[in-house]
Amino acid sequence: MIPLALAGAGLRQLAGAAAAVAVSAARSGGGLSAAWVPGTGARAASSSAEAEPLRPHPTPRSHLAGQPTPETHPELLRPNELTPGIAAAEYAERRTRLARAMPQGGVAVLPAASTAFVTGVIPHPYRQDADYSYLTGAAQHGVAVVAAAPGGGGEHRFALFIPDADPERERWDGAWLGPQAALDVFGADKVYSIRELPRRLPQIAAGASALLFDFDRPSAFHFPSVRAAVEGLCAAPGGPRAAPLRPVMQRLRWRKSGAELQLMRASALIAGAAIRRCMGISRAGVMESELAATFEYECRLAGASRNAYPPVVAGGADACTIHYSRNDKRVAGGEMVLMDAGCEYAGYASDVTRTWPVSGSFSGPQRDVYEAVLEARRTVLDAVRPGTTLSRLHTLSVSLISDALRQLRVLPGLSAEAIQAQHYREFYCHSIGHYLGLDVHDTASVGAHAPLEAGVVMAIEPGIYIPDHPRFGPFAGIGVRVEDDVLVTPTGACVLSEHVPVAVSEVEALVGEALEGAAAGGGAPRGGGAGRGAPRPEAGAAKEAAGAAAAAAAARGGGARAAAAR
């Protein structure tokens, strides 16, 4: 990234040009906002008592969306898609469903996610708010949507509020969403400057029965004028009542459409292939960081945009730390490694966990604990069906794991009932699972007591974690979790991550074959040792990642195009 201070004379010349543009715009009445004068931290003065039309956007028409479109990125988007795998018509249908779900005459206000910064002006990679992404498909920050439900009959209204054109900002950050694209690409009924929102909102919400806005949403604190406008409207005599938007949006997002399910299958497929690759390079002495890096590399190579969350790569007793994420030590021979990792593909998250022995075979105690977790997994998956709840599934898992702890004699002399009543949380301290979608812990406001419906996707993750203490004998320090992405179907469960081995024989075969191949070849498994002289990665990694990418594209109907691109 180029710091502004290093731009030298060219920057001073640019600052003068920007100031001249700002003055010219102010004189012509076309400037709604002050122009940024680079290098000064200030903006050229410009003010107007009345809101004025957005000034023409300087970016070419084909780039006005500020993100890929079928015209600019045919390798990513098919015609009529707004985002990969999701048609513009589906986004419009989502807004219609929101209007129906809101109180009659309700108005929803939803700002986009704000940019988070590592330090100073260095940003984290931007990630859109899931509710905003679901409703609009827009990937930019600094924007907001206002959706109004009809007061009785009629059509709902959808307005986008966007930043004014800023050539200097676009010089540094790229094309931005323009007013015409807000109408043509994103389907807005009206488009206004974001600076107009406090003035326009009372007009849009005149006579509204309710104003739906999340005051605790992080982006709300970055739009203080919008927040103040909402508070003022709701506090005024006869004004609309304030209501949270999040529960309404998350209930809409809870059940996935057919297009969403294709993307979630693809995400699980990519993450699963990456975990298989990590199993294939495991060996005594492998670094946790190497496994973490391999996972991200394989996912990105296959088309994922990022990790869904910081991966857990925990060797030995660190597997008993649920969210261990240092990933900084060697895994010793005879130890297992627990990898909990997922990716985002076209915005949709996967969340998969596997535990395996890096030396290729389970010890007796490791196998006993692992099989106990697998049995709990099998029984819980058999119980998944419409009408049950995550809460009931969790209660079932507690019973199963408590009985397993009794059979393992981890707590000698205690019955399964006593373990379930008092002691199980020492060994199983998390829930059986959570919903999955645009967020890895998705639609939390729906709650664990909601009866499951076909089309809901969740992560199911039983585990047993035995503290590294002498009183637990040969089981001390053994931590096992097996997690899968599971779709609720009309008749039961469909495991989206079923391609990742779980059976003892399959896991040992995958790791053992890689070790045998490395021994025959005189080196470590693919990419093997840390340090100089380590063999270069084989082409197999790229081939498997390409296969996952092609399968993911095929899952959303774009297989031929993806294969041709490869």
- Confidence at residue 5, expressed as pLDDT on a 0 to 100 scale: 39
Q: Give me 460's structure tokens.
A: 């199911």
The confidence score (pLDDT) of residue 346 equals: 98
Q: Are residues 213 and 308 in the same domain?
A: no
8-58 pLDDT, tens digit each: 333 333 334 334 434 343 333 333 333 333 333 334 444 334 445 555 555
The torsion region of residue 182 among left (phi > 0), alpha (psi -120 to 50) and beta comes to alpha
Task: Give residue 150's pLDDT.
Answer: 79
Residue 514 pLDDT level (bands cut at 50, 70, 90): confident
Q: Are residues 249 and 262 in the same domain?
A: no
pLDDT over 60 at 160, yes or no: yes
Identify whether the C-beta of residue 279 lies closer than 8 Å to the C-beta of residue 507: yes
Judge whether 322 lies within some domain.
yes
Contacts of 27 (CB under 8 A, 6+ apart): none
At 536, give phi and psi (nearest 5°). Answer: -75, 155
pLDDT at 474 over 50: yes
Domains in the chain, number: 2
Mode of pairing for the β-strands spanning 210-212 and 241-243: parallel
Separation CA 212–CA 246 (nearest Å): 9
Q: Which of 229, 253, 277 is the last residue of a domain?
A: 253
Under the phi-then-psi rule, with left for phi > 0, alpha for psi from -120 to 50, and beta for the rest, what region is 29? left
Q: Is residue 284 assigned to a domain?
A: yes
Q: What is the DSSP string of 493-510?
A: EEETTTTS--SHHHHHHH
Here the tokens at position 366 are 């490791």
**Are 479 and 356 spatial neighbours (Cβ–Cβ below 8 Å)?**
no
Q: Is the pLDDT of residue 447 over 90?
A: yes
Q: Does 364 score more than 90 pLDDT?
A: yes
137 has pLDDT over 70: yes
**Looking at residue 224, what is its pLDDT?**
86
Amino acid at 192: Y
Task: With beta carbons less than 8 A apart as the criterion, state whether 71 and 64 touch.
Answer: no
**Strand order across the beta sheet in which 336-341 lies:** 312-315, 336-341, 352-357
In a domain, 302, yes or no: yes
Task: With cut-offs at 50, 70 and 90, classify the pLDDT of residue 557.
Answer: low
Least confident piece of the model among 38-47, 250-259, 427-436, 459-468: 38-47
Sign of torsion over alpha carbons 348, 351, 352, 358: positive
Do 121 and 136 lie in one domain? The reply is yes
Q: What are the pLDDT digits (tens) for 475-490?
A: 999 999 999 999 999 9
Measured at the CA of 52, the angle between CA 48 and CA 54, to 5 degrees, comes to 125
DSSP 63: G
Q: Give the 3-state secondary structure of residue 465.
A: strand
Tokens 């002691």, residue located: 423
* Paired strand residues for 306: 344
What pTM was estimated for this model as a whole?
0.83
Residues 266 and 188 in one domain: no
Question: Using one digit for the tens of pLDDT, what is the confidence trace for 300-315?
Answer: 999 999 999 999 999 9
3-state DSSP of 234-284:
HHCCCCCEEECCHHHHHHHHHECCHHHHHHHHHHHHHHHHHHHHHHHCCCC
Whether residue 35 contacts residue 107, with contact meaning beta carbons closer than 8 Å, is answered with: no
Residue 411 — very low, low, confident or very high, per pLDDT cuts 50/70/90?
confident
The answer as to whether 423 is a domain residue is yes
pLDDT average, residue stretch 326-347: 98
The answer to whether 460 and 382 have CB atoms below 8 angstroms apart is: no
Helix or strand run (H / E) with residue 148: strand 144-148
Q: Is residue 302 helix, strand or coil?
A: coil
Domain limits for position 372: 255-510
- CA dist 291 and 199 (Å) reads 53
Q: Looking up tokens 């076909």, which residue turns up? A: 454
Say if 537 falls within a structural domain: no
pLDDT given for residue 412 in this prediction: 85
Tell me the β-bridge partners of 434.
459
Question: How open is the CA angle 255-559-130, to the nearest 5 degrees?
Answer: 30
Instruction: Give the residue from 231, 253, 275 where a domain finishes.
Output: 253
Looking at residue 563, what is its pLDDT?
Answer: 33
Is there a single domain that holds both residue 212 and residue 360?
no
For 274, counting Cβ atoms within 10 Å of its Cβ (0-12 exposed, 13-18 middle, 19+ buried), the class is: buried
Residue 469 scores a pLDDT above 90: yes
Closest-CA residue to 194 (of 230, 165, 235): 165
pLDDT by residue (tens digit) across 111-128? 999 999 999 989 999 999
Quick check: is 530 in a domain? no
The residue among 29 and 342 whose pLDDT is bigger is 342
Question: According to the model, what pLDDT value does residue 547 have?
Answer: 60
Render pLDDT for 57-87 as a digit per residue (tens, 0 to 9): 555 543 478 999 999 999 999 999 999 999 9
Domain identity same for 211 and 79: yes
For residues 284-290, average pLDDT: 97
Q: Are residues 143 and 272 in the same domain?
A: no
Give the chain's mean pLDDT: 85
- Give the range with max mean pLDDT: 220-229, 351-360, 422-431: 351-360
Q: How many angstroms separate the CA atoms of 42 and 413, rounded?
A: 73
Mark which of 470, 490, 510 sits at the end of a domain.
510
Q: Which of 137-141, 171-175, 306-310, 351-355 has the lowest mean pLDDT?
A: 171-175
CA angle 337–341–345, rounded 5-degree value: 155
How much is the pLDDT for 554?
65
pLDDT at 449 over 70: yes
Provide the CATH number for the domain around residue 72. 3.40.350.10
Confidence of residue 298 (pLDDT cuts 50, 70, 90): very high
Six token digits for residue 272:
């699963």
AA identity, residue 544: E
Query: pLDDT band at 287, cuts 50/70/90?
Result: very high
Lowest mean pLDDT among 13-22, 102-111, 176-185, 273-282: 13-22
